[in-house]
Amino acid sequence: MARLLIVDDQISLCQMLEIAFRKEGQTVETVSSGKAALKKIESQVYDLIISDIRMPDISGIELLKRTREMRIAAPFILITAFSDAETAIQAVNLGARQYVIKTDKLVDELKLAVARTLEELALREENIRLRRELLRVFAQNNIIGRSSKIRAILEMIRTVAPTTSTILITGESGTGKELVARAIHEASPRREKPFVSINCGAFPETLLESELFGYLKGAFTGADGNRKGIIESANGGTLFLDEIGETSLLMQVKLLRVLQERKIRPLGGTVDAPIDVRLVASTNRDLPAMVKAGQFREDFYYRVSVIPIHVPPLRERLEDIEPLARQFLRKFALQIGKPLSDFQPEAVRAILRYPWPGNVRELENAVERAVAVSQQGDAVLRLERLPESVRLVRPSQEKEILIPAEGIDLEAEIARLEKDYLCAALERASGVGTRAAELLHVSYRSFRHYAKKHGL
């Protein structure tokens, strides 16, 4: 139900329109002058305003202008008994949704105009809601974590997304570099344009060039027609070059030219075409070391790493493992149709013990497998459903204890272990002492005693 304000100096017309729109289920208020309308608009919120143009005190055009000066965005539909092209253009330039001539079909035409306007508004609000939801999904459901390192990455995404600067995302395989790239795109002004990705290590050099730049008919044997390249497909949006460290020196030269000149030329072509793309690249290799070894061009490295973002491995953000695992459990339980709502405590302990060399991707695959092999009647995911490599990792306390020939200082060693556990608990609890105490199964008073003892 929408709230409408109808403004017309003909009281009979106001009454007729009020009856018509109330029958449509709308809430309607009417006034017979522009000044009265201004008072209403200043004090109340309307979804739509229908106003006559010619009124004795303030015209509909002036009413629209003053409303916009007050930064009130309610859409206007203007009505008039006179067809005046100049007035219509002025109304549209000021932001009026529609300009309706008073005829014997006025009520029907206004009903149609109001329905169309309210539908457009609802669609716009839904798009805004979906966009916000999508950003929330990227920030909370895909790039999940409560560690300080993940929070810093999310803050960096919010900061750099509105810019056009080239970004280099580094990190081990499986850490979620593409998720970061997609989050940057979705938070940027380019979100309505394409996000196009390509794994540079998945193609030989000759094929990669044709994939990136496209080709014209006859450019090489088998080129039976023109084909648009990936770079052109990303025009206006974001181009994600995954594993850019796998590109050859010659390909780096060609990509450097694209970045510098913002132009591309398809294979077999003779004319450059302008291109507008935001480049985000990623790699799991040490590019500075490759530059020193002559395996990666220094000028290209500086062009792609204007803004570096490093995604740390899972073993360096232990406090993110459990939230990630729980999110994957919810995701795959829903997808596969299993009534799993939680992990068995022993399963959580095994997940936290395992070092996850494959990072987030390995964790996701392990949880998906565990959900798939769980019994339909299981309410919790049991330890035995996890992969053998995960569940059979021995706790660190069970490692062989080696005592050197000269012996050890037991008290100093125990003190060192105490301090290590305190620091680890604080890191996992993001510095919250009460939470750190809970993780160590000690009272907060005892935790403070140990922290003071070790100068924390």
pLDDT digits (tens, 9 = 90+) for 139-148: 444 577 778 8
Residues 302 and 180 placed together within one structural domain of the fold: yes
Residues 362 and 275 placed together within one structural domain of the fold: no
Domain boundary among 350, 377, 397: 397
Residues 237 and 355 placed together within one structural domain of the fold: no
Rounded CA-CA distance 375/177 in Å is 34
In a domain, 190, yes or no: yes
In a domain, 131, yes or no: no
In a domain, 242, yes or no: yes
In a domain, 134, yes or no: no
| Domain assignment of residue 330, given as a range | 315-397
Total tally of structural domains belonging to the chain:
4
Residues 239 and 278 placed together within one structural domain of the fold: yes
CATH code at position 73? 3.40.50.2300
CATH code at position 377? 1.10.8.60
Residue 94: predicted pLDDT:
74
Residues 383 and 447 placed together within one structural domain of the fold: no
**Residue segments in the chain with a per-residue pLDDT below the cut of 70:** 83-88, 128-142, 218-219, 221-222, 394-406
Residues 68 and 112 placed together within one structural domain of the fold: yes
In a domain, 443, yes or no: yes
Residues 288 and 364 placed together within one structural domain of the fold: no
Residues 300 and 338 placed together within one structural domain of the fold: no
In a domain, 137, yes or no: no
Residue 411: predicted pLDDT:
81
Q: What is the pTM of this model?
A: 0.58
Residues 235 and 291 placed together within one structural domain of the fold: yes
Residue 129: predicted pLDDT:
67
Residue 22: predicted pLDDT:
92
Residues 206 and 348 placed together within one structural domain of the fold: no
Rounded CA-CA distance 390/347 in Å is 9
Cβ atoms of residues 92 and 99 within 8 Å: yes
In a domain, 162, yes or no: yes
Residue 272: predicted pLDDT:
85
In a domain, 136, yes or no: no
Residues 179 and 238 placed together within one structural domain of the fold: yes
Residue 394: predicted pLDDT:
59
**Residues 325-366: tens digit of each pLDDT:** 998 999 899 888 888 989 998 899 899 989 999 999 999 999
Residues 296 and 237 placed together within one structural domain of the fold: yes
